[in-house]
Amino acid sequence: MSAPREPVFPRIKLGVSACLVGERVRYDGGHKRHAFLGDILAAHADYLPICPEAGIGMGVPRPPIHLVGERQQPHALGLQDPTRDVTAQLQQFGARTLGSLDGVSGYIFKKNSPSCGLRQVKVFARPGRYPQRNGTGIFARVIRESLPLLPVEEEDALDNPQRRDNFLCRVYVYRRWQDLQARGLCSAGLGAFHAVHESLVMAHSRAAFGRLEKLLSTATEPTLAETAAQYIQALMTTLARPARRSQHCTVLAQLAGELKPLLTPRQSALLAGTLAAYLAGNLALTEAIDTLRSHVDRHAQLGLGRQAYLYPYPDSLRPSNY
């Protein structure tokens, strides 16, 4: 009997800038509802909507703020009234928010926001001067620095096939890690977690895969917690770097090689042609993976259907043109 085409995925919990899910909390009283968040991802996720500017009592609508000063330590000042400095309030709100993020598996921030933007936020050396786009929002910086393992992105990533795939992949990996921690960390559990993610890691970096293998080989029960901390940090760092086409093709070919003894010569030839078309840029990754999946589902005894590389997150969230 064939394995199910798609595993059962748990609902995830995501932090999100409140304006992106339609809440009218922006400085002008409006919102920036994102269609993918509201119409597609919401079927699989529960949101924790947060607006730090409204959260510190600035009101809706409110006078806008902007970042002024040094790139690494800017101040959030009023645009019309530069004497109004809400930097410390936003930092304190971020620190207070950390406790509510338990169980959150990822965070989607509002791009360009002086409180929530992750990158390329305008920073003015002095009020009225020409800005540089090299800053991070005050609130977003607190979250990112306090929770370095948490997958984070801005909403425009959801419109980019590669960035969306990378973000969702990391979110579901992190959710599986949270589930492992909740069950209680043990050597067998850590080994099983690694086995599920082997192909995924290799698609991003074979060198990193080797380092993770070596790390796990030296783990002992007394050092398990320390090993696990090193492992997940290295894993999430590796996955944050998008995989290249050639890396994907190497992993696809390796998985196809495991299937080959069970395939007919014609099936093997067609599968090889599919992978060649993907490597040449004539086929989307999703199409190449679907072709491989069709064989994996018919040969469940190999256990390849458990690989997170083949089933990283629900199919309904997959970019169609990636």
pTM of the model: 0.94
The pLDDT value given to residue 3? 41
Quote the CA–CA distance of 232 and 148 in Å, as a whole number.
Answer: 11
Q: What is the pLDDT of residues 187-199, one digit of tens each?
A: 999 999 999 999 9
* pLDDT at position 300: 73
Mean pLDDT of the chain: 93
What was the pLDDT predicted at 235?
Answer: 98
Three-state SS letters, the chain: CCCCCCCCCCCEEEEEEHHHHCCCCCCCCCCCCCHHHHHHHHHCEEEEEECHHHHCCCCCCCCCEEEEECCCCEEEEECCCCCCECHHHHHHHHHHHHHHHCCCCEEEECCCCCCCCCCCEEEECCCCCCEEEEECCHHHHHHHHHCCCCCEEEHHHHHCHHHHHHHHHHHHHHHHHHHHHHHCCCHHHHHHHHHHCHHHHHHHCHHHHHHHHHHHHCCCHHHHHHHHHHHHHHHHHHHCCCCCHHHHHHHHHHHHHHHHHHCCHHHHHHHHHHHHHHHCCCCCHHHHHHHHHHHHHHCHHHCHHHCCCCCCCCHHHCCCCC
Q: What is the pLDDT of residues 21-63, one digit of tens each?
A: 999 999 999 999 999 999 999 999 999 999 999 999 999 999 9
pLDDT at residue 98, rounded to an integer: 97
> What residues of the chain score a pLDDT lower than 50?
1-4
What pLDDT, on a 0 to 100 scale, did the predictor assign at position 286? 93
